[in-house]
Structure 1
């Protein structure tokens, strides 16, 4: 009995000692931490204001505790600020990481103004010294001076140049009777909940080389390889107020919105070679407005891509696609309302007149909210559709139930709606239906050839 008790006690002692050894600090110079990144790219950040927080992980992949004796920014820093495992500071000592565990390092920065429009690149190094060995992570940021506007009201004819980007807080409003003109290459960054409302007129003069951008003011990646460029709900959106007239946007990109672009009652908006994408609502909504949509890409929205209620819409050589990432789709790609007596909403406004020509409507979910437009003034001519249907009075020479073969790969967060070499939409458009504004696509490639493509892009894909 005593012998058995001794064996049990010795076994227990061995387990305890083994556990102590297992949990002890590893002092071998070969036992070093690993990092989730070699370089932490914070993206382009606006000077003179704190950046959003970026982060990376430090791993202990060993079987015992490692103790990082020193964590600090080489040479000190007046630009970058650190938080290591929940503690803010400039220098950190004896930071322990348990076996097979990890800690976060958070980084913020405030970059001094550059005094010029060009970007200023800043690189600094965080050193991690463990068991006498120093390993490093580089922090990279590009500083951009920016013009800040807060609750800006445009009440006289005004032109924004592209020398510096603009950062909009609260709102940018174009008053009745005033015209805001955006020069080629102008970029408007909207802060959280900010919006642009056009009660007068907006003219956006983007070009293939210098498009105009409406976007959120977050840069870099949300997490991993997911860029803020893909994220909706960063700002409210662009609104054309009732009776706003003469609006024309060319080569203009509007993204990252809560509610997309709204053309309200009796407003008049022309979109030529524009990209509207990444909305938590609709990408483009029209309520009794006069819309002309030519050579555009309308894509990625939770509620649906295009919503037309009454009014007039001319849609030519436009790609309408929905592969929205961050929510289940709540509606078809194109939603039609108030287009005939059966869909009358009691508004006493004219029914919808819509003409879709040489377009592609294909993506996840349903393409059209209506399958029969008999007796209405809605027509689709020479369009490629996801639906499995057949030509009737309001569907003329359409291509049914056919994948256009975009370059888009949703699972890889890659969205390119140009067409692969074996796409059935290549050379499938009717040249007689090309509107004058559609003579060239977003990239400046001519459509005036024997066999133009359906949809927004004549340019070959996967070449950027």
Structure 2
């Protein structure tokens, strides 16, 4: 009989439990709290989905309650999509929130600008309404939507035996077929009226020229880019901007995700590919950011003039290489390359290179944060496989008034195979090469006392960039690069600031006091 009290207690608990309304609670009475009252979904392009955003709904009371309704004010016609407590939809009923607990609400949108306005951009808004009547609360949703010119490979579809088969437009390069759209004559001028969004590769066809006007914005989807075919030409006509924040006259190449979280993420798109036989390229006042390889250039056009003249241009955050030039003919001035997963500048397989007033650096923390390769790599060979190495003449690689620096000990390396030309020189340059273990002590390629190779070189002095990890590579008057460039230098720096006629600065930037 000593067990009767225990049995009685269990019976009372069972009876009480059978009478309570499991998972039922009183409705909320306007006492919800939110982690934000307005959710901004940042900027998107028309018909391109946003990232997923979220906020929390809190029950700060000591009682469980149920939210009778959660719905979008625009209803089923809304371009927003919700996920409430793990359930997708646009309206919900009887969502329970336990005492002192919270739930997540996730929000996405895809918006067609043509259905709303004829403007090139507009704000798309809606509200999430919680409950009705006097208890109604809300969270505002706001998205800036931009119109764009979309360049997409054509699809040719047909139905065979009841099944649809589609062929996607592409080009064949080597052994690979790449999804691509060959630009028509009407598409060979990119203006600054609307941004351009490219899916796959936009191909400049044989004997045609793509001209990109000042202020144009070019956005690439994943695995996309621009290809210049045989005898094709790319002309980028950017100009100096008056507002360094807006860069209104700069031509900007970047990915198609406009949310701030994507602003510095490497590897969002492919490359600008100047293929063998393409010719007479010019890139001025451009920013190329977040690519896999910023510029990939294969060979020159065989003419005495440079195949590519690149000036006043910045290449940042490449997941592999900033500028990879193979057997190319390049002339660069006021060129800045920083933060690449492997190499910022690779002058590969020989070629002809002349760089003046350039800043080549690498402070990359991509991947593991450790690079095995330097900021600048110069070689006259390319290993195809274990049994084959291609060798070509390095006709010249001249660096004048350049900074080569980074967060490793040795930021310039040479890879030379005997039997072909290997000509290079550095004049009035600031170079980081700390041979801390004397590995290169007896290698004549690194004889910094040899004035025929290294003339007026500043070795291992920190140029004191303002914020190199954030791609701000300006210098001030305290920098050892200040006033140390060749006195024959003239013209403007990358920002359009006149260089000193008597004591110009090394690198792409003329010194100025930091704000």
The normalised TM-score by structure 1 is 0.81
Aligned CA distance change for structure 1 residues 385 and 87 (closer, same or farther; 3 Å): same
- The residue aligned with 2:73 is 74
- The residue aligned with 2:408 is 365
Aligned CA distance change for structure 1 residues 408 and 125 (closer, same or farther; 3 Å): farther
- The residue aligned with 2:182 is 153
Q: 2:457 aligns with which of 398, 406, 411?
A: 398
Q: 2:212 aligns with which of 182, 192, 201?
A: 182
- Deviation string, structure 1 residues 198-226 (Cα, Å, up to 9, x no partner): 121111100122111222111113xxxx3
- The residue aligned with 2:238 is 206
Give, in angstroms, the shift of residue 383 of structure 1. Answer: 2.3
- The residue aligned with 1:353 is 396
Aligned CA distance change for structure 1 residues 31 and 78 (closer, same or farther; 3 Å): closer
Give, in angstroms, the shift of residue 160 of structure 1. Answer: 2.4
- The residue aligned with 2:326 is 287
Q: Check the 8 A contact 1:258/1:280 in 2, yes or no.
A: yes
- The residue aligned with 1:93 is 93
Larger Rg: 2
- The residue aligned with 2:145 is 143
**Distance in 2 between the 1:403 and 1:322 partners?**
13
Aligned CA distance change for structure 1 residues 143 and 155 (closer, same or farther; 3 Å): closer
The normalised TM-score by structure 2 is 0.74
Aligned residues: 441
Structure 1 residues not aligned, in runs of 5+ = none
Structure 2 residues not aligned, in runs of 5+ = 154-180, 242-248, 302-306, 383-387, 436-446
Q: 2:292 aligns with which of 237, 258, 262?
A: 258
2:263 match: secondary structure: helix
Aligned CA distance change for structure 1 residues 307 and 74 (closer, same or farther; 3 Å): same
Q: 1:337 aligns with which of 379, 384, 392?
A: 379
Aligned CA distance change for structure 1 residues 376 and 97 (closer, same or farther; 3 Å): farther
Please say which of residues 385-394 and 143-152 is displaced more in the overlay. Answer: 385-394
**Distance in 2 between the 1:337 and 1:257 partners?**
23
Aligned CA distance change for structure 1 residues 346 and 89 (closer, same or farther; 3 Å): closer
- Deviation string, structure 1 residues 235-289 (Cα, Å, up to 9, x no partner): 2111111132210100011122123211111251111001111211101101010
1:368-379 equivalence runs, <5 A: 368-370=411-413, 376-379=422-425
Q: Check the 8 A contact 1:115/1:145 in 2, yes or no.
A: no
- The residue aligned with 2:246 is none
Q: Check the 8 A contact 1:41/1:220 in 2, yes or no.
A: no
Q: Check the 8 A contact 2:80/2:107 in 1, yes or no.
A: no
- The residue aligned with 1:416 is 472
2:152 match: secondary structure: strand
**Distance in 1 between the 2:508 and 2:129 partners?**
49
Give, in angstroms, the shift of residue 298 of structure 1. Answer: 0.7
Q: Check the 8 A contact 2:505/2:511 in 1, yes or no.
A: no
- Deviation string, structure 1 residues 424-448 (Cα, Å, up to 9, x no partner): 14623314253x6xx2233222224
- The residue aligned with 1:122 is 124
1:451 match: secondary structure: coil
- Deviation string, structure 1 residues 154-200 (Cα, Å, up to 9, x no partner): 47593222222222122211123211111111222222212211121
Aligned CA distance change for structure 1 residues 369 and 409 (closer, same or farther; 3 Å): closer
Give, in angstroms, the shift of residue 64 of structure 1. Answer: 6.2
**Distance in 2 between the 1:442 and 1:385 partners?**
20
1:281-320 equivalence runs, <5 A: 281-309=320-348, 310-320=350-360
- Deviation string, structure 1 residues 323-349 (Cα, Å, up to 9, x no partner): 334413342211221189xxxx85342
**Distance in 2 between the 1:185 and 1:233 partners?**
23
Please say which of residues 389-398 and 244-253 is displaced more in the overlay. Answer: 389-398
Of Structure 1 and Structure 2, the greater strand share is in 2
**Distance in 1 between the 2:514 and 2:139 partners?**
32
- The residue aligned with 1:383 is 429
Task: Give the alignment's Cα RMSD to 1 decimal.
Answer: 3.9
Q: Check the 8 A contact 1:117/1:164 in 2, yes or no.
A: no
- Deviation string, structure 1 residues 109-133 (Cα, Å, up to 9, x no partner): 3133266564212333334459976
Aligned CA distance change for structure 1 residues 56 and 174 (closer, same or farther; 3 Å): same
Aligned CA distance change for structure 1 residues 360 and 348 (closer, same or farther; 3 Å): closer
- The residue aligned with 2:440 is none
- The residue aligned with 1:103 is 104
Give, in angstroms, the shift of residue 136 of structure 1. Answer: 4.0
